[in-house]
Amino acid sequence: MRVVVDCNVLVSAALTDGACRAVILRAVARDEIAVSAPILTEYRAVLARPKYRKYQALALSLVGTLEAVAYRVTPLQPAPALPDVKDSVYLATALAFRADAIITGNTKDFPPALCAPVRVLTPRAFLDLIV
């Protein structure tokens, strides 16, 4: 499966050993992941916040792993408009990559009608898929 991982999934993966971390591990092992320069910048900026300081080593390791295995994509311009304009880069990257899905904990920020043909999956829905 070809996927783009929203920043909130990466943050959750760094904070707890749960579904989001399982998403990262599965995607790295079995799927094709796309990132873009703006996505990598957001990953690093969010994870550098003081409230995540004690998780920083694992967080940066996860970013480094994604960066090492992911395809680098230039997002489509102009980026499609989403309710949260900061999320548009994820959809623009997914469309440029011809991704099957965006994995996010904030599905309301990615209305299916605006994201088609890219599916919007929660971490649990992604893990529940048999591929």
**Residue 98: CATH number of its domain:** 3.40.50.1010
Boundaries of domain holding 108: 2-128
pLDDT band at 79 (very low <50, low <70, confident <90, very high): confident
HEC profile for 66-126?
A: HHHHCEECCCCCCCCCCCCHHHHHHHHHHHHHCCCEEECCCHHHCCHHHHCCCEEECHHHH
pTM equals 0.94
Taking 70 as the threshold, does the pLDDT of residue 19 lie above it?
yes
* Number of structural domains the chain divides into: 1
- Specify the pLDDT at position 26: 96
Check pLDDT > 80 for residue 131: no
